[in-house]
Amino acid sequence: MLTLAEVRAAQARIAGRVLRTPAVYSDSVSRATGAQVTLKLENLQATGAFKERGAANRLALLTEAERRAGVIAVSAGNHAQAVARHASLLGIQAVIVMPQFTPLTKVSRTAGWGAKVVLHGETLAEAAAHADMLARAEGLVFVHPYDDRGVMAGQGTLALELLEDVPDLDALVIPIGGGGLIAGCAIAATGVKPGIEVIGVEVAAYAAVAQRLAGQPVHVGGATIAEGIAVRDIGEQPFAVIRAHVADVLVVPERAVEEAIALLAEGAKVVAEGAGATGIAALLAFPERFAGRKVGVPICGGNIDARILANVMLRNLLRDGRLQRLVLEIPDRPGVLADIAGKIGTAGGNIIEVSHHRLFASPSVQAAQLEVMFEARDAAHSADIVRSLEETYTVRRI
């Protein structure tokens, strides 16, 4: 099994190659969750994710012959960019195999580090099979994203830094995809501070580790915003560490991940991708588990599409009542639109969107239907505005 000595050696080896990210106490996240929360901001790494650590350590361990041969990796995201970057810094040829559906921005960022990008297969599994074939055919060194001792040791340096900066933490809450991050961090944390609780988090659609630990068949799949941890097969080396050193694995619903992204962006002023916010989602979903405790949570990555981030923020505004969508049945006569706008504006609401339907939406030619979206300070303020409209009009929330 991976040792603390290996993680310490990795820390010395990658010093100066990756950013020592700040550990920041977040008052807004702490108040929202009831815990005392310190964020480890891995979203500030050059490629926007913690994967830099494992890639830097694994490539630094290559022999001269292996460096001359070059490396190959398979990934649809952060591991691809991390391997490409550190191979470029070391002057090593890198081939990155990505599924054909990979967003063009991720392909261009990976290629921008000097790697040769090969698009192959409809799924990550098909891309991995092709990468394995290329590795054997061309004599390349395969750099696995998580089931690799050197990668795990590199990822574990995150926990060493965090406990050096905040030594009195009671627990670490760490997302699980393939398991490399939590395995390395569990070895480091329990080695440095025996008794600290290391807790893993999976998203409901991909709860492979929780299922295996419970002795259940693994059934995963479906859409998730936490695509960075949407992994079917946990690495066997990380799984052995999880069995021995991880206290618990929590499974969070999709909604909690969205709420965590919004909380980080709006409250902590931190941009996180879905997988990167899953640790915070656990604090929101299981507040009694962490109440009053000093908890360290890595924000594993910040590579979220701007459109997805915008949609998450708007969905969260709708959920907490600050954004309200209504349908009003109104008489089709002059002055009605002005009256409704006046009621909302006088009450302090801000109209975002209005859609007026005369011909087909209303049951009578003497009536019309108005769809309106407005912004309020909070749920109570929104309810006050709706009540003022209901005094005159038939109102339905949508």
Global pTM value: 0.91
Question: Would you say residue 361 has pLDDT above 60?
Answer: no
Distance between CA atoms of residues 79 and 119, nearest Å: 15
Distance between CA atoms of residues 154 and 8, nearest Å: 9
The pLDDT assigned to 24 comes to: 98
Number of other CB atoms surrounding residue 63 within 10 Å: 9
The pLDDT assigned to 363 comes to: 60
Over residues 320-332, the pLDDT tens digits come to: 999 999 999 998 8
Distance between CA atoms of residues 212 and 346, nearest Å: 57
Domains of the chain with CATH codes: 4-49+154-315 (3.40.50.1100), 71-139 (3.40.50.1100), 323-397 (3.30.70.260)
Over residues 210-243, the pLDDT tens digits come to: 999 999 999 998 889 998 899 888 999 999 999 9
Over residues 15-57, the pLDDT tens digits come to: 999 999 999 999 999 999 999 999 999 999 999 999 999 999 9
Q: Average pLDDT of 166-181?
A: 97
The pLDDT assigned to 77 comes to: 83
Band of pLDDT at residue 126, cut at 50, 70 and 90: confident
Distance between CA atoms of residues 325 and 31, nearest Å: 29
Distance between CA atoms of residues 39 and 257, nearest Å: 16
Number of other CB atoms surrounding residue 364 within 10 Å: 9
Distance between CA atoms of residues 127 and 131, nearest Å: 6
**DSSP character for 93?**
-
